[in-house]
Structures are given as structure tokens and as C-alpha cells.
Amino acid sequence: MDISIVVPVLNEEESLPLLYERLTEVLAGSGYRYEIIIVDDGSTDRSFEVMRELYERDEHLRLIRFRRNYGQTAAFAAGFDRARGDVVITLDADLQNDPADIPALMAKIAEGYDVVSGWRVNRQDRFLDRRLPSAIANCLIGWATGVRIHDYGCSLKAYRRDILADVQLYGELHRFIPALAHAAGGRVTEIPVRHHPRRFGKAKYGLSRTLKVILDILAVRFLMSYSTRPIHIFGLLGLFSLGIGSIVLLYLAVVRLLLLRPIGDRPLTLLGILLTMLGVQLITSGLLAELVTRTYYESQGKPIYTVREELSRE
């Protein structure tokens, strides 16, 4: 298998037939051996019925249906777990990504890259609540991870399947896959891709996602730098706090014992005690995090989703 296409779906019954038509037109004429994995992320409309009708007449289709809505990251993870192609390509089901860009992604992969990200140069979305927050997020992610691409939020991406084996997804980390792949030693690049206005339904994301992205940036930064040595970050913070607290308490001891001045009513006393206790707690947290890390890396991985049913011709 050359290509596995992974498409997460949430209430896209109107767009699915057109997406399928465009995908098969591009892929059938490409000469690649391919499969299309459609993941129903808990749709409440007729999306899965439409998918089943398409499945009945095309052996290239594979369907996965979640029991409930788990989010786009879980949908991508389910597709990645089942992909058989040497290259895995993701795209949205809303027809804003153009399947005609798939050959360009494959050509870039053939140059030796492990991840090729789409860049929506002429993005067809509203500025205030879609493009502006996305631009800010892209700058923050690039600064925090060191992987500077223009459009982390574009779902149209191509990955070598072997690099995905080193990327563990949970939460909402799907937009950070290029950064996580880079941390695993992958070569990352981007190419301009087309972007179309949404024709059916409504966008699933808005301004409310901005704060989540900021928190995810902190998590990814930690995972990239300290996931295998959490004691380094917790320990350093703990030693800093413990050191400052110890200096404050030592100063107060000199004031009380040598200068014979009262220190019980000084705010500095409380600050010294607080910093000392905080330092001890941070160092203890670092040691506990080390134990958790060891358990994580030495145990079996657990899926972040449950599947209601799966259709496949394997």
C-alpha cells in the first residue's frame, strides 16, 4: 500500500459524497495503491449512513465509527493505528482542503521529507475569529517548539508512516504532529496548498480554542524537552525556590539570634517558609514524575478511543 488517506468526520453528511468523488478521481489517476480511512467521530446526522453506502461500492474504503465524540486527535490516532500505506495523508471532510494537492505532497515526500505540511496561503475563512487567532497560535507554536511552519492548523498533511510510530497522540495534540515528529528526528517542510470556502455545515472551532492551544503549547514544550527527564524541570524550579527560601530564613535567623530583633510579625518570615515548602514540594513532584515516566515508557500503550464498529475488507 502506497497511500493511506485519513479523514475525520463530524456531521458532514452533505460534503462526504463530493469529497469521495474528488478523492477517488485524484487517487485513481495517480497510479498509487491507496486506501481511504474515514473515521466517524460521533456524528449525530446521517454521516455514517452515507459512508456505509460509499463503502458498499468501493473496496478502497475503510470505515471506523466511534461510540461518541472524542475529538479530531483521537480520530487521527484511530486512522494512524490502522493505516497500511507507506505514506499517511490527512485532510478535513468539509471540502476546504483540496485533494488535488495530494500529488504535490507525495512529490515532496519523495524528496526525503518525513512530514509535509500544507500552508493555506489564501485561506478562505473569516479574519477575526479564525485567521487572526490561527496566526497568533502559529507564531507561538513555532517559537515554543523551534519548528517554524506557517500553518499548523491545516489538516492537509503527509507523513511517512514510520515517523508516526514515534508520535503518541492524546488531548488535542494533532496540530502539533510536525513538532512532535521533528522532536523524534523527522524532517519537516511545508508547501502552499489550496483552500476553499466552506460549502456545507459550520466550523467546529472558534475563539474558544485559543486558550486550549496556549495550554497545549506548554504541554508540548514540556514533552519535547523534559518528557523523559521531568526531574530536570521540577528539580530546577524546586532548587531555586528552596535556595531563595533558605537564604531568607538564614537572614531572619541572623536577625533574631544576633541582632535580637523579633521576626514573627514580618511578612518576610512567611515568604521564607512558603518558598522553602514550595521547593520541597517541587522536588518531590519531580521524583514522582520520574516514577510516572518510567511506568509510561515501560508499560503497554492504551488507546485513547473506543470503537463502536469497524468495516474492513482485510
pLDDT tens digit string along 158-212? 999 999 987 878 777 888 999 988 888 889 999 999 999 888 767 666 556 667 7
309 within domain boundaries: no
Question: In this structure, how many other beta carbons lie within 10 angstroms of the beta carbon of residue 251?
Answer: 13
pLDDT at 263: 83
Q: At residue 66, what are phi and psi to the nearest 5 degrees?
A: -75, 155
pLDDT at 235: 87
Q: Is 56 exposed, middle or buried (0-12, 13-18, 19+ CB in 10 A)?
A: exposed
**Which of these ranges, 225-229, 248-252, 265-269, has the smallest mean pLDDT?**
225-229
Query: Are both 63 and 182 inside the same structural domain?
Result: yes
Per the confidence metrics, is the pTM higher than 0.85? no
CA distance 73 to 144: 20
311 within domain boundaries: no
pLDDT at 303: 61
Query: Are both 218 and 248 inside the same structural domain?
Result: no
Which single residue is written with the C-alpha cell 508547501? 191
Query: Are both 86 and 203 inside the same structural domain?
Result: yes
Top pLDDT among 105 and 258 is at 105
pLDDT at 61: 96
Final residue belonging to a domain, choices 211, 226, 241: 226
Neighbouring-strand partners of residue 158:
89, 116
Q: Please, which residues have CB within 8 angstroms of residue 4's CB and are 6 or more apart in sequence?
A: 34, 35, 37, 79, 83, 84, 85, 87, 88, 89, 161
Query: Are both 214 and 251 inside the same structural domain?
Result: no
Query: Are both 211 and 249 inside the same structural domain?
Result: no
Query: Are both 218 and 236 inside the same structural domain?
Result: no
Q: What's the number of CA atoms in the CB half-sphere (13 Å) around residue 210?
A: 14
Identify the CATH number of the domain in which residue 135 sits: 3.90.550.10
pLDDT at 308: 63
pLDDT at 25: 95
Output the nine-digit C-alpha cell for 41: 467521530
Final residue belonging to a domain, choices 171, 204, 226: 226
List the domain range (segments joined by +) for residue 66.
3-226
